[in-house]
Structure 1
Amino acid sequence: MDVVSLSTLASDREKTVSYLREKGLLVTYTRCPFCGSEHIGEVRREKYKCYQCRKEWSIRRGSIFEGMKLSWEKILWAMKLFEMEVTAHKAALQLRLSYEVTLRLYTLFRKAIWVHTQKEGKSLLEGEVEMDESYFGGKRKGKRGRGAAGKIPVFGILERGGKVQVEVVEQVYTASRRSGHGEMVEVRLE
């Protein structure tokens, strides 16, 4: 979606909600989530009520946005910045949100993408793939690289022109312990 279409969509709450439902990010309730009654209705803006058990729930219930109090406009713009691969820090500055909130949104988007790919059974990689490990975290001072204290090993597999799968692992090592560039080695993930 281009930026002009996004700004038009983000300015209308009804269109935004229907767009997010269409994308599967918001749940459409035809029955009460508490008692199962079909006698429900919208009582206030973004609030639904069951007329049988008298309970109310938010439009965000059961979605990745449950508990978030951000406007739909900011959520849509965060999605666009995520799609454009803008870092969470830069997106926080653009959206005038805290870094923590923006990072939480980015994490929710990543989880939604992962769940969607798992539902479609797209977990197998095909064709030419590349694999590598990296280490994240740890303190800056002192020893660097693999031996630095507190580093978390992450193993990633990239399908050329396609998908990426990443997993935190306990330890990454080769069978022969001697590998040069371009050499095929057996990698054990524990």
Structure 2
Amino acid sequence: MNIEELKNDLEAEKFLFDIGVLKINEVCPYCESTEIYSIRRNHFKCKSCRREWSKYNGTIFKDIRIKPLKFVKIIHELSKGSLIKRISEDLEVSYNTVLKIKTLILKRLLKKLFNIDEVKSLFSVGIEINENGIDLNYVENINLEELSTLKNEKIGRLYIFKNYDIYDLYIVFSEKIIKSLEKNSVKLNLKDVRVELRMLLKNISEKVSKGKITNVDTLLFTLVQTHFINYHGNDKLFYLFLEILKHK
């Protein structure tokens, strides 16, 4: 579906119901009676216990107060790599609301892709090309002693090792400069990077050099985002974001 064709909140809400991000619970959450009815927009009431509740209970809209159309547009812009400030200004939504949605996406993305709950201040990602495409592997156990003897190509606080261990690229992310790696750091050379990974590194490098990503959470989010956009397109990333927002 072309998201740009959504004209109002009713159409956006229907879209979210159709793909399962929103789901109406047709059972009273208090007494489990199925005798419920709509009393006003977004609210139901139980005939048995007479209690009321929002139809958004159990969905992302319970905790994030935002209308469906703007929500869909925020997800769409995040999937394209737009900056939070720009999204906030263009859609006339508070910066904190966009940040909250992006943070939630990152948290659930980490769980889905890497089975981790939070990003550490020092970690690495091994990138491997195989017959099925490109795999990203989150690695917390880093052998800094061994890595300190090897040449790395540095972007900001990213230390990039080519053809290390089983990986075509091995990237160490750190919130602080790692002195033991600095002595063997050189400027990133994209010419000898495999074609499949060149655009990934190029995009990451440009964003780091322009100061658009400043912490490890954003770095990892940008890496995953850039990977999906380069190899699968914006649409797949957009629907992946929506998929991971289906459940609390």
TM above 0.5: yes
Matched, 1:184 2:164: yes
Aligned-pair distance for 1:62? Answer: 0.4
Whole-Å separation in 1 of the counterparts to 2:96 and 2:86:
12
Please give the per-residue CA displacement for 1:54-108, whole angstroms capped at 9, x wherever unaligned: 1211122101221322222211211221122212121111112222111112223
Within the candidate set 173, 179, 185, 2:143 is matched to: 173
Matched, 1:105 2:88: no
Partner letter of residue 5 of structure 2? S
Compute the TM-score of the two structures, normalised by the length of structure 2. 0.50
Q: Which segments of 5 or more consecutive residues in structure 2 lack a partner in the other structure?
A: 152-160, 171-248
| 1:4 to 1:58, Cα distance in 2 relative to 1, 3 A | same
Alignment partner of 1:95 is 2:75: no
Q: Report the identity percentage.
A: 23
How many Å separate the matches in 2 of 1:182 and 1:159?
11
Partner SS state of residue 85, structure 1: coil
Deviations 1:148-184 (A, max 9, x none): xxx92243344655564657x4x63346342235353
CA displacement at 1:20 relative to structure 2:
1.0
Written as runs of structure 1 = structure 2, the 5 A alignment for 1:26-175 is 26-111=22-107, 118=112, 152-158=121-127, 164=136, 166=138, 169=140, 172-174=142-144
SS of the residue corresponding to residue 50 of structure 2 reads coil
Change (3 A) 1:114 1:51: farther
SS, match of residue 172 in structure 1: coil
Q: Aligned letter for 1:103?
A: L
1:40-59 deviations in Å (ceiling 9; x for gaps): 11110001111111121112
Distance 1:165 1:31 in 2: 41
Using a 3 Å threshold, how does the CA distance of structure 1 residues 41 and 158 change in structure 2: closer, same or farther? farther
| Secondary structure of 2:14's aligned partner | helix
SS at match of 1:176: helix
Q: CA RMSD in A?
A: 3.3
CA distance in 2, matches of 1:83, 1:156: 21
Question: Partners of 1:159 and 1:20 in 2: how far apart?
Answer: 35
Matched residue SS, 1:182:
strand
Provide the aligned length of Structure 1 versus Structure 2. Answer: 151
Superposition deviation, residue 33 in structure 1: 1.6
